[in-house]
Structure 1
Amino acid sequence: MNNSEILFLYDAKLTNPNGDPDEENRPRMDYERGINMVSDLRLKRYVRDYLADQGYPLFVQKMDGSPVTAETRIKKLGTSNDQEILDQLIDVRLFGATMPIAKDNKQFIGPVQFNWGYSLNTVKVLESSITSTFASSDNNKQGAIGKDFRVAYSFIAFSGVISANRGKATSLKEEDIAELDRALRYAIPLQVTRSKIGQYPRLYLRVEYKSDMTILGDMRDYISLKEKTEDIRDISETALEVGKLVDFLKENIGKIDSIHYFCDSKCILLNHDVEVTFQQAFDGFTLIEVE
């Protein structure tokens, strides 16, 4: 197993990508720049929910529909042996965990890490009032009134790293990474809730290197969103410029084993302002599509 780096893009239309409980569940924002923010924990939750739906037992999960303590979850596993626990729990192999084993806390540092995601465009937050059919209290028979916050449109980019050396410590498997690839393709639209509907994965690259020593850096530095109109509201009003990224990766092609990818048909790619397919843009690399 060797190192990989990830670029993951999805968009959000009239939805709330990541509510902030300290701000009335408003979408997380850098208000000075008008940038929508999404935490790495939100992305990992999508992955965990997808893996749970695929039948994988997880460390971070509810039991019988209710939250439990870490101690209770460990007892349910029926073992305190490190390796047996790792063999059972794909989320620990991927993301690590601090686990109460015996009288100590055993820390596994996750080989898969993501930065916070941020929007490539400036984002407007829309606010509306919502009402409930149920009375707000026994003494007030009127329905409760609340606030609903959503982004008008946000094109969100995440960067991630897979460390081969840390993967050895958690017994990370190649099959686990393949499941991560599939989760990032399918998890978000499959985990639809009222506040999350309207989000779709648009582009995914996992650049797999030839060694466990190579890290080239955040690929978001080499992409930009071209907006066909002011105040965009839909992916049809955008195009993604990847020319600098292609050039950068070609400069380092000797370090790259393969690129695992998917590209949504609605995501228009530009290579230095020329519209191209994904295969045309990344011609010369070993490309493996995530099915």
Structure 2
Amino acid sequence: MNNSEILFLYDAKMTNPNGDPDEENRPRMDYERDINLVSDLRLKRYIRDYLEMQGERIFVTKLEDKSVKPEKIIDKLKKDLGKKKLTKEEILKELIDVRLFGATMPIERDTKTFTGPVQFNWGYSLNKVELIEAAITSHFSTDSKNQQGAMGRDYRVKYSFIAFSGVISGNRAKHTLLTEDDVNKLDKAMVKSIPLLSTRSKVGQYPRLYMRVEYKDNETILGDMRSTIELIEKNESPRDISEIKIDVTKLVKHLEDNKDRIESIYYFADPNLEIYQEGEEKEFKDIFNSFNLVEVR
């Protein structure tokens, strides 16, 4: 398998992209710059949940809606497969999230650590983000003496346009038995998982642009593509996808300069996102038409 690098852009409107338990579940923030942050674990959770919803076996999951020790997951896998023992290869072939992201897991009397070929940096917003705070009241009392209902706080971002960067290592893929089919499933999960797995605090998030640049070898890494994207705000404090646009002029040059290293670009582009190159609005497929493009559906 060859290396790939990922650029993923999505937005969040009146929602909480990633609550911080150390901050009363407020959205994670870099307060010095008013930048919204989202951990890689939050993104991986979306992907795992989507893949599980599609019938894939997942290692980092719950059993009967309860958190359990890793040994319990392996014991259930043995039971489902009708085996008393499982080899490393058998476990890897069954658990797609371990093939993607790696894990530390019990294998018989040993503990084995797999470093995942797919890794993401933390996501951050390309715009400055404002928070909104509101009081919420539950109709259920907290105990027999309190008949008024529980009070709490609800924290959300007004609008956040979030960018993630990721890599897929062809060398590490060999050790977790990652397949091309697995990577294709990852592509779909990146595009579909967030809106399909919305909860009360997460509804209002949509993928806007996904690019997986696949290289011709397992040595090439060109670097984080987020620095080549310019976010242009139509209004001083945007609140909707219609109030922003992105300029990909630097990204196009970055990729064109390394075109001989690129095999294909797998992509999803939301038609609601305005994309500009050298001051002119264009469709994604027209901007990158010199590359072998594969649309993710």
Cα distance in 2 for partners of 1:132, 1:77 equals: 40
Moved over 3 A (4+): none
**Residue type of the partner of 1:124?**
E
Tell whether 2:103 aligns with 1:136. no
Assess if the C-alpha contact under 8 Å between 1:241 and 1:269 holds in 2: yes
Partner-residue secondary structure (3-state), 2:75: helix
Displacement of 1:197: 0.2
2:129 to 119, 123, 127: 123
Cα distance in 2 for partners of 1:65, 1:226 equals: 43
The CA RMSD over aligned residues, in Å, is 0.7
Displacement of 1:144: 0.8
**Residue type of the partner of 1:125?**
L
Displacement of 1:136: 2.2
Residues 28-37 or 134-143, more deviating = 134-143
**Residue type of the partner of 2:37?**
M
Cα distance in 2 for partners of 1:41, 1:139 equals: 39
Unaligned runs of 5+ in 2: 79-84
Cα distance in 1 for partners of 2:67, 2:34 equals: 35
- Once the two structures are aligned, what percentage of the paired residues are identical? 61
Tell whether 2:248 aligns with 1:242. yes
Tell whether 2:104 aligns with 1:98. yes
Counting only pairs closer than 5 Å after superposition, residues 154-233 of structure 1 correspond to structure 2 as 154-233=160-239
- Structure number with the higher strand fraction is 1
Tell whether 2:16 aligns with 1:16. yes
What TM-score do the two structures reach when normalised by structure 1?
0.99
What TM-score do the two structures reach when normalised by structure 2?
0.97
Cα distance in 1 for partners of 2:25, 2:230 equals: 28
Cα distance in 1 for partners of 2:190, 2:87 equals: 30
**Residue type of the partner of 2:285?**
Q
Cα distance in 1 for partners of 2:145, 2:58 equals: 44
Tell whether 2:148 aligns with 1:107. no
Cα distance in 1 for partners of 2:186, 2:239 equals: 29
Unaligned runs of 5+ in 1: none
Partner-residue secondary structure (3-state), 2:138: strand
**Residue type of the partner of 1:217?**
G
Partner-residue secondary structure (3-state), 1:93: helix
Partner-residue secondary structure (3-state), 1:98: strand
Cα distance in 2 for partners of 1:45, 1:240 equals: 27
Cα distance in 1 for partners of 2:295, 2:274 equals: 17
Residues 32-41 or 61-70, more deviating = 61-70
